Amino acid sequence: MSRVGKNPVAIPSGVDLQVAGRTIVAKGKLGQLSMSLHPDVSVTIADGKAVVAPLSAESNRGRMQWGTARNRLNALVRGVAEGFSKSLEINGVGYRAAVTGKNLTLQLGYSHDVIFPIPDDVKIVCERPTAVLISGADKQRVGEVAAKIRSFRPPEPYKGKGIKYANEQIRRKEGKKK
């Protein structure tokens, strides 16, 4: 029995959830998102809650996909209601970021600036030259964009220079001995 899957997904006010066959569409103040359901899982909506259940209790595949489908549905509902965000920090002398038009310009110690075009479904804000906030309705897309930006200069273990997530701990190494 799935511990995650048996919990219903609460649908907040302002969010419209519709099930059409194997597709679930959620509409909210931050836009519209959709997901396709696994064939071995079903969703029922009642009393402002969405309940995910496997179609057959004997099906291993259905029981495996049960919790996954519930979490994906929860992310869908939370995304159109509140949205998701990731914070990145830039450490290093002369390392900085700025949003110019539809591009994120990063100065990361290379001989050239790294220019990252901002996708339409994601919003990027630079609160400070060393802090970048990525937000959007789709949890997977926000994480993907944050990982792409981090990959331009991952943090290195000796001085800690590079781009890291705000809550990430960098394991530091000791340098050379004389």
- Tell which of 81, 108, 133 closes a domain: 81
CATH number of the domain to which 38 belongs: 3.90.930.12
Residues 51 and 103 in one domain: no
What is the predicted pLDDT for the residue at 1?
59
pLDDT band at 2 (very low <50, low <70, confident <90, very high): low
pLDDT tens-digit series, residues 129-168: 999 999 999 999 999 999 999 999 999 999 889 999 999 8
* SS3 labels along the chain: CCCCCCCCEECCCCCEEEEECCEEEEEECCEEEEEECCCCEEEEEECCEEEEEECCCCCHHHHHHHHHHHHHHHHHHHHHHCCEEEEEEEECCCCEEEEECCEEEEECCCCCCEEEECCCCEEEEEEECCEEEEEECCHHHHHHHHHHHHCCCCCCCCCCCEEEECCCCCCCCCCCCC
Please tell me whether residues 105 and 144 are part of one structural domain.
yes
Domain assignment of residue 18, given as a range = 9-81
**Any domain includes 172:** no
Average pLDDT of the residues in 70-91:
91
